[in-house]
């Protein structure tokens, strides 16, 4: 049945243009040369195409290099996966080389990092242990970390400083592999932002919500102080936190603004397995509305973070 209101358009009336007149986004002269066996790492970087994520990753590493030259904060916000994937030594190396100014993290990273320092292993099989009554019942982790936080409160510390101080005193067998120990030794601020009920040490008999809350409050104000210095070239990275750190970072920015501290012309980046709403809005978009740039990289941390670190080190002076 014909439709009297709609008639097919006639392709014979189409006006074409020559490709020589058309603007193109991809040009042969921009194509990189393939990486050759035995070439150096810079040759590998040069073999990446100048488009999309590869272009963004190059730009981010350039901005990190500029932040270091300007002595602006480079804040690594990270979840626990970096430790669980064996990337603690990479983070420690970057701290020692001066590429990390501060670390903001959650309670899970504190737990896994502490267990590495204590026992040289971490991360339970949740599916196997959850319904057996065994998951999260590790005595040493719950006892020692809650004691560390309790002592930290008496010394007017935040949680990050308290755990670092405890590790220094405890002389555990694998201290050199601990991010928190090395950060304390290097005088790099670590702020810990727990959500009560998310970490198994919260139901250990030694746990005190009053203590955890008091130390988390101190760490929030410390993070806000560091965030206040981001303008004109600083960088905040959010690696593997979908909710807690994006929210904490946004609130730190809001707190600074409420105090009359103008923030602008700084940069942010998210590295995660999937694209999430909060990291995009609270890290990549809203905080950099007055200049700067936000980047979002989707990929596995065990691939992306070593790649990022290696590219950063090509900027080493």
pLDDT digits (tens, 9 = 90+) for 3-57: 778 888 899 989 999 999 999 999 999 999 999 999 999 999 999 999 999 999 9
Residue at 82 is within a domain: yes
Quickly count: other Cβ atoms within 10 Å of residue 314's Cβ: 13
Q: Report the alpha-carbon angle 51-98-192, nearest 5.
A: 90
* CB-based contact 228:255 (threshold 8 Å): no
Contact 97, 186 (CB under 8 A): no
Q: Which CATH number characterizes residue 78's domain?
A: 3.40.910.10
Domain residues for 291? 63-313
Q: What is the pLDDT of residue 317?
A: 55
H-type alpha helices, the chain? 41-46, 52-69, 81-84, 88-96, 107-119, 126-129, 139-154, 159-170, 179-185, 209-227, 244-258, 277-279, 301-313
Question: Is 140 inside any structural domain?
Answer: yes
Does residue 12 fall inside a structural domain? no
CB count within 10 Å of CB 313 equals 14
User: Does some domain include residue 141?
Assistant: yes
- Mean pLDDT (the chain) is 96
Which parts of the chain register pLDDT below 70? 1-2, 317
**Alpha carbon distance 39, 41 (integer Å):** 7
pLDDT value of position 28: 96
Note whether residue 194 is domain-resident: yes
Is-contact 308 61, C-beta < 8 A? yes
Does a structural domain hold residue 136? yes
> Does residue 29 belong to any structural domain of this protein?
no
24 inside domain? no
Number of domains in the chain: 1
């Amino acid at each position: 049945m014909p439709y009297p209101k709609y008639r097919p358009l006639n392709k014979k009336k189409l006006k074409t243009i020559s490709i020589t007149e058309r603007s193109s986004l991809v040009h042969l002269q921009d194509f990189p040369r393939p990486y050759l066996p035995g070439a150096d790492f810079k040759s590998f970087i040069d073999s990446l195409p100048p488009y999309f994520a590869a272009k963004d990753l190059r730009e981010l590493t350039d901005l990190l290099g500029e932040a270091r030259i300007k002595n602006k904060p480079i804040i690594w916000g990270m979840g626990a996966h970096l430790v669980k994937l064996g990337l603690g030594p990479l983070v420690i190396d970057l701290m020692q080389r001066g590429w990390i100014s501060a670390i903001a993290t959650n309670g899970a990273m504190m737990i896994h990092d502490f267990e590495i320092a204590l026992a040289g292993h971490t991360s339970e099989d949740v599916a196997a242990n959850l319904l057996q009554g065994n998951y999260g019942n590790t005595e040493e982790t719950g006892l020692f970390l809650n004691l560390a936080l309790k002592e930290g409160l008496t010394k007017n510390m935040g949680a990050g400083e308290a755990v670092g101080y405890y590790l220094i005193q405890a002389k555990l067998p694998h201290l050199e592999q601990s991010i928190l120990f090395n950060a304390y030794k290097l005088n790099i601020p670590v702020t810990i932002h727990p959500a009560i009920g998310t970490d198994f040490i919260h139901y250990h008999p030694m746990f005190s919500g009053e203590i955890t809350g008091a130390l988390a409050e101190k760490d929030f104000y410390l993070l806000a102080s560091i965030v206040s210095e981001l303008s004109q070239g600083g960088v905040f990275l959010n690696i593997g936190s979908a909710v807690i750190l994006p929210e904490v970072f946004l609130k730190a920015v809001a707190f600074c603004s409420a105090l009359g501290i103008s923030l602008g012309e700084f940069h942010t980046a998210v590295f995660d397995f999937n694209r999430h709403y909060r990291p995009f809005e609270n890290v990549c978009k809203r905080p950099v509305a007055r200049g700067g740039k936000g980047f979002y990289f989707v990929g596995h941390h065990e691939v992306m973070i070593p790649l990022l670190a290696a590219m950063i080190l090509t900027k080493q002076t």
